[in-house]
Structure 1
C-alpha cells in the first residue's frame, strides 16, 4: 500500500468553508482511485473551525491517506505575481494533489527573476506552480484541457460557465491578450491577471 499523502487546501472566508462539495468530491475520488477506498467522507462533519479562525481569509490544509493525517489552519497571504517564466517538463505527473511537490519545486527553482512559472508538457500549456490558468482573447476565458491538476476552483468556474476548456499549445500563447492564475485560495475576482507580455518565452 502506498503511504503517499494527498492534501486538500480549502479557503475559509468569514468562517465559511468555500466550495466544500468540490473538495469533498475530489478527495473521495482520489481515495478511491489511489487506494481503493469506497467509503465517502463528509468534510462538513469532519472539519470543525477552531476559535483562532476569524473572518479574514484562512487556509485549511487537510493531509490524508486512509485516514486524515493532519489538519492545519492558518491565515492566508496573497502572492504578488508580475512576471511568469515558461519551463518545460514532458514527464511531470501531478494528477492528484500530492503532499510531495518535489517535481514542482524543481521546476519552480528555474523561474530566475520571475514570480511564477508556466509549465509546458509535450508542447502543451498545463498549470503554474500553485494555480490553474486561463487565457483571455478579449471576449472569453479559456483554460487548458492539458492541465496537471483538476483544481476545485477550475471545476467550479467551468460549471458556472465563466471559463471554457480549450487545447492551448505553447505556440498559441501569443494569440491571447491576458493570463489569469487562480486556485482554491485565489478566487476568480482576486486572481492575478497579467498581460501576455508578462510571460517570459524561452
Structure 2
C-alpha cells in the first residue's frame, strides 16, 4: 500500500497552513477511492506539543488511516549548487512518501539541489516549488509537479503570479527562491540565476 507524507510547519506551538494541508490529505483519500480522511487538527492536539521554536511536523500515513508522526527541530539551510535535470516522465501529483526517483536524480546530478525540467518546462525542485524574479515581481511555473500548500497560499494572497517558464525564457529572470510548507516567501534566501550551474545558452537549450 502506498504511503503519503505531510510536512507541516509548527512555530511557537502554532500550526501553519493547516487548512491547506487538510485539503490535500482529504483529496488524496478521495482520489484513491477511500472514504473519510485524517483529522490533522485532532492529531496535533493529541501530541500535546508545548515547546517554542521552529519544528517540522512530519506525518506519514496510509489510506487505511494508520499514521506515524514526528516533530523535528528545523533550520533552513542555504544551497551551494543547483542543477537543471531533465525527466519527461516523472509524476508526483500526490505527496508520496517514496522519493527514490527524486533522490536518484539528485544523486546523479551531484548537486545540493535540482530543478526538474519536464518536456522543456520548468517544474519544481526535489522537495519544493520554485519562484523566479522578473523585475520586482515573482513568478512560479504553471507546470508544477506538486501544487504545494505554500504555493497555493502565495497565489491566493497575490504575492506571486503564475507563468509558463521554459528553458528558452529562463534568461528573462534574475533570481530564484524555493518555497514549501517550511520555507516561506523570504528575501533572506534569494539566489542569483548564476547559482544554477548548467543554465542553457542561447545556442543550446539541451541539458545533455
| Superposed pair shares fold, TM > 0.5 | yes
| Match in the other structure for 2:201 | none
| Superposition deviation, residue 55 in structure 1 | 1.1
**Is 2:10–2:54's contact at 8 Å kept on the other side of the alignment?**
yes
Where does structure 2 lack aligned partners over 5 or more consecutive residues? 199-206
1:89-125 CA deviation, whole Å, 9 max, x = no partner? 111111111000011011111232x321111011000
Unaligned runs of 5+ in 1: none
What RMSD over aligned residues (CA atoms) do the two structures have, in Å?
1.6
Q: Does 1:43 align with 2:40?
A: yes
1:27 is matched with which residue: 25, 28, 50? 25
1:141 aligned onto 2:147: no
Would you say 1:17 and 2:15 are equivalent positions?
yes
The one of 182, 198, 201 equivalent to 1:185 is 182
Determine if contact 2:25/2:37 at 8 Å carries over to the other structure: no
Instruction: Determine the C-alpha separation between the residues in 1 that align with 2:59 and 2:187.
Output: 23
Out of 50, 57, 60, the residue aligned to residue 57 of structure 2 is 60
Question: Structure 2 matches for 1:119-198, cutoff 5 A?
Answer: 119-189=116-186, 192-198=189-195
Q: Per the alignment, do residues 20 and 181 of structure 1 end up closer, same or farther by CA in structure 2, a change over 3 Å counting?
A: same
Matches within 5 A, 1:82-97: 82-97=80-95
Does structure 2 retain, via aligned residues, the 8 Å contact 1:62–1:68?
A: no
TM-score by length of 1: 0.92
CA contact (8 A) 1:181 1:191 kept: no
C-alpha separation in 1, matches of 2:59 and 2:82: 28
Deviates more, 1:62-71 or 1:9-18: 62-71
Given candidates 61, 81, 105, the residue that maps to 1:107 is 105
The count of aligned residue pairs is 198
Change over 3 Å in CA distance of 1:42–1:182 after alignment to 2: same
